[in-house]
Amino acid sequence: MSEEQTVSLVDVLEEDEELEEEASAVLAGSDSDHCSYPQGYVKRQALYACNTCTPKGGQAAGVCLACSYKCHEGHNLFELYTKRNFRCDCGNGKFTDAPCKLFHDKEDVNGLNKYSHNFFGEYCTCGRPYPDPEDQVEDEMIQCVLCEDWLHGRHLGCDVPDGVELQEMICESCMTTNVFLWSYAAHLAVPGGAVQSETVAAKEATSSLRAQTDEAAEPSRKRGRVEGKEGPACRLKALEASGVKRVRSGAVFWPSGWRSELCRCDACQGRLAEAGLSFLPDESDTVLAYENKGKRQEGDAPAPDPLMSALDNLNRVQQLEIIHGYNDMKSELKDFLQTFAAEGKVVTSDDIRQFFELQQSRKRRQVDGRFHCA
Ligand SMILES: [Zn+2]
Ligand SMILES: [Zn+2]
Ligand SMILES: [Zn+2]
Ligand SMILES: [Zn+2]
Ligand SMILES: [Zn+2]
Ligand SMILES: [Zn+2]
């Protein structure tokens, strides 16, 4: 059993292509070698906040994936997962004595960056850290697609539906700020969240809306009316006029593809822009799209492999470090794993971590040496 597992781990490593695809799915569009600053406000990227360089009480700052490795190694980092439209702050005016080692010529501030309590390691409406040493309740954290805060499942004000990983969530606070979203929610939202008073009516209205849309797309009987001079009708207005209501409380879960259902008429686009939500009708804004970006073949789900299962036991920062390290030193890792196979030992996540820590400290010495000589 243990021998088999070890051998299959090596086998997996032989299949470089498959593994690289997995690694690129985790890293997706984020560059682990070059600071993303020259790209400006990146559509979506992995971000970190450094509690060592910019602790609570000071100004919030976020750094890119490459900077988290190269400029903040060994620091106390908060993982922010991904955020949209952000420009790397590493080494700018917010960092008093930690220059960016990757890109030097930065403006003092990035005026369009948005910051939240996440940048100080606080999450959710309860403002707790994650993981929370004082919280014994098993719960998942879900990111709101508007404010990008992470919320505890139990603090959403609604039940978390099944298949949540394929759905997007908008927190109650963001729903309340953008009232028009409730009209969409009555028709599109995943049922089983906040109590829906008129589920049947909502379903009927949705199907009749679909029928209208189909007719518009394939005009036959009502051709004359559709071609009128008033331009395309506002879908949101049609929804509002249908009179279907939903209880306006709690977070809302949206099924995959829901963004394409949003009205794109001029008035609606203006409203979205005003609310700072122009990204919303854009399917490529989703985290799912970001995660798919790095995969060469989309929709072809790779089989779970033993190395990745071992990595599952590490936190995400460690995972990324290891995958990053792996790309740098495939052959050493292969040799290392071969010794386990030869001895018939099982490779544990601790072994892999130790291997990379050793590799990293070697690399750090090299880098330091170069740095001082220059
Ligand atoms: Zn950077
Ligand atoms: Zn730092
Ligand atoms: Zn940096
Ligand atoms: Zn909470
Ligand atoms: Zn929100
Ligand atoms: Zn509209």
In a domain, 63, yes or no: yes
Q: Is the pLDDT of residue 132 over 80?
A: yes
- Residues whose CB falls within 8 Å of the CB of residue 166, separated by 6 or more in sequence, listed in order: 255, 256, 288
In a domain, 253, yes or no: yes
| Nearest ligand (C-alpha, residue 126) | 4
In a domain, 128, yes or no: no
Q: Which two tokens stand for residue 28?
A: 């997706």
Q: How far is the CA of 257 from the centre of ligand 6 (A)?
A: 18
Same domain, 110 and 238: no
Q: How far is the CA of 62 from the centre of ligand 1 (A)?
A: 9
- Average pLDDT in the 6-30 region? 56
Which of 270, 293, 316 lies at the terminal end of a domain, its last residue?
293
Same domain, 24 and 34: no
Q: How far is the CA of 271 from the centre of ligand 6 (A)?
A: 9
- Average pLDDT in the 112-120 region? 96
Percent over 70 (pLDDT), the chain: 66
In a domain, 136, yes or no: no
In a domain, 135, yes or no: no
β-strands 150-152, 141-143 pairing:
antiparallel
Q: How far is the CA of 96 from the centre of ligand 3 (A)?
A: 13
Same domain, 248 and 316: no
Same domain, 35 and 24: no
Same domain, 366 and 275: no
Same domain, 68 and 159: no
Same domain, 192 and 315: no
Same domain, 40 and 1: no
Peptide bond into 131 cis (omega under 30): yes
Is 6 in contact with 345 (CB distance < 8 Å)? yes
- Residues whose CB falls within 8 Å of the CB of residue 225, separated by 6 or more in sequence, listed in order: none
Total domains, the chain:
3
The mean predicted confidence, pLDDT, of the chain is 78
| Nearest ligand (C-alpha, residue 99) | 3
Q: How far is the CA of 70 from the centre of ligand 1 (A)?
A: 9
Distance CA(53)–CA(55), nearest Å, equals 6
| Residues 46, 276, 79: CA angle, nearest 5 degrees | 20
Interior/surface letters 177-213, b for 16+ CB within 10 angstroms, e for the rest: ebebbbbbbbbbbbeebbebeeeeebeebbeebeeee
- Average pLDDT in the 285-302 region? 66
Give the bridge partners for 143, in sequence order. Answer: 150
Q: Is the pLDDT of residue 272 over 90?
A: yes
- Average pLDDT in the 137-166 region? 92
What is the predicted pLDDT for the residue at 65? Answer: 94
Same domain, 225 and 277: yes
Distance CA(368)–CA(101), nearest Å, equals 11
- Average pLDDT in the 128-155 region? 92
What is the predicted pLDDT for the residue at 157? Answer: 96
Q: How far is the CA of 140 from the centre of ligand 4 (A)?
A: 10
pLDDT band at 114 (very low <50, low <70, confident <90, very high): very high
In a domain, 132, yes or no: no
- Residues whose CB falls within 8 Å of the CB of residue 89, separated by 6 or more in sequence, listed in order: 61, 62, 63, 95, 110, 113
Same domain, 155 and 286: yes
At residue 240, φ and ψ (nearest 5 deg) are -60, -40
In a domain, 260, yes or no: yes
| Nearest ligand (C-alpha, residue 140) | 4
Q: How far is the CA of 239 from the centre of ligand 6 (A)?
A: 10
Same domain, 52 and 196: no
Residue with tokens 């029928």: 211
In a domain, 129, yes or no: no
- Average pLDDT in the 125-139 region? 90
What is the predicted pLDDT for the residue at 210? Answer: 47
Alpha helices in the chain (DSSP H): 2-14, 16-27, 65-70, 172-177, 181-188, 199-217, 223-226, 235-241, 266-274, 287-293, 306-312, 316-328, 330-343, 349-373
Same domain, 72 and 209: no
Which of 276, 293, 310 lies at the terminal end of a domain, its last residue?
293
User: Measured in whole angstroms, how far is the alpha carbon of residue 209 from the centre of its chain?
Assistant: 32
Q: Which two tokens stand for residue 298?
A: 């989309």
- Residues whose CB falls within 8 Å of the CB of residue 267, separated by 6 or more in sequence, listed in order: 234
Which of 271, 293, 315 lies at the terminal end of a domain, its last residue?
293
**Residue numbers of the domain that contains 338:** 1-28+302-374
